[in-house]
Amino acid sequence: MAVRTLLGLLRPWQQFRTTIITLRGKTLVEHGCARSMSTDTTTDNLTLSLDSKTGIATLEMHRKPVNGLNLEMLTDLNIALEKAENEKSCKGLVLTSGLPKIFSAGLDILEMYQPKPERLAEFWRTLQNMWMRLYGSRLVTIAAIAGHSPAGGCLMAMSCDYRVMATGKYAIGLNETLLGIVAPFWFRDTMVNTIGHRETERALQLGHLYGADEALKVGLVDHLCDQEEVVKAATEEMSRWLKVNAVARQLSKSAMRQATIDKLVVRQEQDIEDFMTFVQRDAVQKALGFYLQSLREKRG
């Protein structure tokens, strides 16, 4: 009761901080004053910071070696996204990576290979929630992609409002079929909404990974620039979006995206069941084992 009364007196972000402690058994490391998001918030997996002058937050992923999305990383992403969302002065979010040559290698395959069922279900639910949060964010969201972005990495990028990608030998796309797995309907829907039905159909079947030029051509990304300029270009683009009336922009975004999100909302439990059944099939486990092996052998 005392805790509830105290929570009632706290602002949303302060309640949020308390929730972190309750949910994870450990708190985020917050540098400086805990009363403002203008100070950095850092975990093992990411840093969230807000420029209080511009209202632009930067969410930088840094889970070594490749920003693989495991349960802990996804939990941190959910917490960070909710924190940015709840901070009134925050208007936009740049999603980027602090690791060289990698945006995100997508889902951590080790979460799906020889999994423990309970953790597998939690992992998938946390991913679903992260996607719904990012795709439906009130904020202007821009992905600054200075490295590879396959599968779940591509999903995160596509869930933003705009994508800036580095020129160079980086690849982006939904390559699930190359692993012997199938992108779920909400991954597919997000891609259809980004590049259209026919291009998605081709890309999904082939597990096609686009180079930067090709990604620009089909509209999978919106702008290319030098690797070092990616975050700057994203921030510059952001200021254009922030000049638009926020309510009108948010309502337009929601009008375009909410039906896609609602499709998952009503099928969330079924989707978890489907995922668990599929992933635990012998053939799928075998395929994931081979793929992991090929990644390891590539390193020699």
Ligand X SMILES: CCCCC/C=C/C(=O)SCCNC(=O)CCNC(=O)[C@H](O)C(C)(C)COP(=O)(O)OP(=O)(O)OC[C@H]1O[C@@H](n2cnc3c(N)ncnc32)[C@H](O)[C@@H]1OP(=O)(O)O
Please report how close the Cβ of residue 85 comes to ligand X at its closest, in angstroms: 24
Residues 14, 53: contact at Cβ < 8 Å? no
Distance CA 97, CA 8 (A): 36
Q: Check binding of 150 to ligand X (CB under 6 A).
A: yes
> Nearest residue by C-beta to ligand X?
106
DSSP state, 139? S
Contacts 24+ apart (CB under 8 A), 255-260: 256/193, 257/135, 257/136, 257/193, 258/136, 260/135, 260/186, 260/189, 260/190, 260/193
Q: Check binding of 114 to ligand X (CB under 6 A).
A: no
Q: Check binding of 278 to ligand X (CB under 6 A).
A: yes
Q: Under rule CB under 6 A, how many of the chain's residues touch ligand X?
A: 29
Angle between helices 117-135 and 246-279 (to 10 degrees): 160
Q: Check binding of 207 to ligand X (CB under 6 A).
A: no
Q: Which is nearer to ligand X, 20 or 195 (CB)?
A: 195
Distance CA 24, CA 18 (A): 10
Q: Check binding of 186 to ligand X (CB under 6 A).
A: no
Q: Is 69 a catalytic residue?
A: no
- Which of 107, 134, 204, 215 is close enough to bind ligand X by CB under 6 A? 107
Q: Which of 55, 68, 152, 153 is catalytic?
A: 152
Q: Is 179 a catalytic residue?
A: no
Q: Check binding of 115 to ligand X (CB under 6 A).
A: no
Q: Check binding of 53 to ligand X (CB under 6 A).
A: no
Please report how close the Cβ of residue 297 comes to ligand X at its closest, in angstroms: 9
Stretch that binds ligand X, among 4-12, 54-62, 71-79, 108-116 (CB under 6 A): 108-116
- Which of 55, 92, 152, 173 is close enough to bind ligand X by CB under 6 A? 152
Q: Is 176 a catalytic residue?
A: yes
Radius of gyration for the alpha carbons in the chain, expressed in angstroms and rounded: 19
- Residue 43, amino acid: T
Residues 221, 163: contact at Cβ < 8 Å? yes
Distance CA 38, CA 98 (A): 19
Residue 6 CA to its chain's centroid (Å): 32
SS3 annotation, 94-128: EEEECCCEECCCCECHHHCCCCCHHHHHHHHHHHH
Q: Which is nearer to ligand X, 181 or 220 (CB)?
A: 181
Q: Check binding of 110 to ligand X (CB under 6 A).
A: yes
Q: Which of 175, 199, 204, 237 is catalytic?
A: 175
Q: Point out which residues bind ligand X (CB under 6 A).
A: 65-66, 68, 101-102, 105-110, 148, 150-152, 175-176, 179, 181-184, 275, 278-279, 295-296, 298-299
